[in-house]
Amino acid sequence: MRVFKFGGASVKDADAIRNVADILRQYVGTPLVVVISALGKTTNALEAVTDAHIQQTGKAAELLQAVCDQHLSISRQLIADEQHPLYSHIAQLCSGVAAMLSRRPQATYGFVYDQIVSLGELLSTRIVSAYLQTQGIDNEWIDVRLLLRTDNTYREGQIQWKHSQQQIKTLVTPIIKQPKMAITQGFLGGTIEGFTTTLGREGSDYTAAVFANMLDADSMTVWKDVPGILNADPRLMPNAVKIAQLSYYEAIEMTYYGAHVIHPKTIKPLQNKGIPLHVRSFVQPDQDGTVVSKNADNLSTALPPVIVIKANQLLLSVVSKDFSFMAEENLSRIYEIFARHRIKTNLTQNAAISFSACIDNTPNRIKELLDELEEDYSVKSNAGLSLVTIRHYTPEAIAQQTEGREIVLEQKSRYLFKCWCDKKQYFDSL
């Protein structure tokens, strides 16, 4: 069996959804689970609804209405008959969130966020599922929140593996055996109490990988608007080239350091079961994309320099106030504080009494982190940086990437890896 994942760009409007149907039509009669994200930039729009609700700006209902109207308009272009059950599903989902907005927020930001933002995937899967059915592509819409049980870490739900696997095996296997396509939501999970959780932004790739793992899939495919995995972001390097085969190891390193093509958490569940990952273009579905698999383990030496950039970094310099050495005791304490605030250190270095780290600048968590660190350390922070990583570097690639840049922290291994944090800020969408 196969698992497919379609991201926001692949379902951004009615034409895009028709294109998804064209791709799926070729797989009718084969066992297939299809994991879908919210349409286009819906998640961002729903984040704005959440913020407006939490801050009680008075704009939340209006912003929600715009999201619902846009989904209705796309639905009308796909299914003209307004008596179709799709329209009552949309009305029900939208009025559920509207009712929540009409009350003052009582719960934590994370809880409220997940209950609102999950609307995106619930709507997108309803629309795609209904449209496929009208096209004669028999499928079943499944509520992933009943399958993937998570803890209640809202916005970063941790999947409870055993229960989820049992649910998936019992509820999904009979559907795909018929064979009928199973259509479900990426990015979402559910707690034991029946509340919705989300798995972290861009988490639909991970959802698909979890399904692939639990169902022992033969392969997983992520359908993208790029021809596969490239050695650099083509928006920054027009001469970027596609890599035909990549090992799990290379793929996880690239994505961890900021290659946006797939979510870094996607690799582990696939690697653990040796399931190949295909990254293919929904624009040119007849082309081979990139295959990430164990067969590529010996091909790493043939790779071109792979350049990944992570924007919006913050450099922290942490110095012990009492001049105690930055040795194991202080370091383990500092790392413990980072872990508790769920801040990932992307690049670190230490000296006699100082520790420097280049970290993701996630504003609401950073403030709490700084408050705690400042109790025992003097801390300086420097925002607006970028983290540049070159794997399989060459002197030319380094020269090209470092020209005219002011590097503030760097690391290099003998052949493989060079990474630095510098003062150039890339555009936000990177």
Residues that bind ligand ASP in the complex, under the rule CB under 6 A: 7-8, 37-38, 43, 120, 186-187, 201-204
- The one of Mg ion, ligand ASP, none whose footprint includes residue 422, by CB under 5 to 8 A per kind, is none
CB of residue 47 to ligand ASP, shortest distance in Å: 9
Q: Which is nearer to ligand ASP, 222 or 385 (CB)?
A: 222
Of 255 and 320, which has the nearer Cβ to ligand ASP? 255
How many beta carbons lie within 10 A of that of residue 275, not counting itself? 23
Question: 290 is in the binding site of which of Mg ion, ligand ASP, none (Cβ under 5 to 8 A by kind)?
Answer: none
Q: Where are the alpha helices (DSSP H) in 36-152?
A: 42-54, 60-78, 85-101, 109-117, 119-134
- Other CB atoms within 10 A of residue 371 CB: 11
247 binds, among ligand ASP, Mg ion, none (CB under 5 to 8 A by kind): none
Q: Which is closer to ligand ASP, CB of 43 or CB of 164?
A: 43
DSSP 305: P
Residue 282 interacting entry, from Mg ion, ligand ASP, none, C-beta within 5 to 8 Å by type: none
Residue 177's Cβ-side half-sphere holds a number of Cα atoms within 13 Å equal to 7
- CB proximity list for 364: less than 8 A, separation 6 or greater: 109
Query: Footprint of Mg ion on residues 6-35 (CB under 5 A)?
Result: 8
Nearer of residues 31 and 186 to ligand ASP, judged by Cβ: 186
Among candidates 335, 310, 312, 334, which has minimal Cα distance to 324?
A: 334
Cα–Cα distance, 351 to 374 (Å, whole number): 18
Cross-sheet strand order for the sheet of 32-36: 139-142, 181-185, 32-36, 2-6, 219-224, 277-281, 290-292, 245-246
Q: With respect to ligand ASP, which residue has the nearer C-beta, 118 or 231?
A: 118
Per rule CB under 5 A, is residue 312 in the interface with Mg ion? no
Select the binding partner of residue 190 from Mg ion, ligand ASP, none (C-beta < 5 to 8 A, by kind): none
Q: Is 81 helix (H, G, I), strand (E, B) or coil?
A: coil
Which of ligand ASP, Mg ion, none is residue 341 near (CB under 5 to 8 Å by kind)?
Answer: none
Q: How far is the CB of 420 from ligand ASP (least distance, A)?
A: 28
Which residues, 161 to 200, sit near Mg ion by CB under 5 A?
none
Number of residues that bind Mg ion (CB under 5 A): 2
Q: Which residue has its beta carbon closest to ligand ASP? A: 204
Q: Which does 186 bind (CB under 5 to 8 A by kind): Mg ion, ligand ASP, none?
A: ligand ASP
Structure-derived torsion over alpha carbons of residues 59, 60, 61, 66, reported in degrees to the nearest 10: 90
Give residues with Cβ within 8 angstroms of 193, minimum separation 6.
Answer: 152
Q: Which does 157 bind (CB under 5 to 8 A by kind): ligand ASP, Mg ion, none?
A: none
Query: What whole-number distance in Å separates Cα of residue 124 and Cα of residue 119?
Result: 9
Contact (Cβ atoms closer than 8 angstroms) between residue 305 and residue 391: yes
* Residue number with CB closer to ligand ASP (202 or 422): 202
Contact code string over 33-52 relative to Mg ion, x by CB under 5 A: ----x---------------
Q: How many CB atoms lie within 10 A of CB 225?
A: 13
Minimum distance between the CB of residue 144 and ligand ASP, rounded to whole angstroms? 12
In whole angstroms, the minimum distance from the beta carbon of 45 to Mg ion comes to: 11
Residue with Cβ nearer ligand ASP (67 or 373)? 67
The amino acid present at 366, given as its one-letter code, is I
Q: Find out whether 330 and 324 touch, Cβ atoms under 8 Å.
A: yes
Q: Which is nearer to ligand ASP, 201 or 242 (CB)?
A: 201
Residues binding Mg ion (CB under 5 A): 8, 37
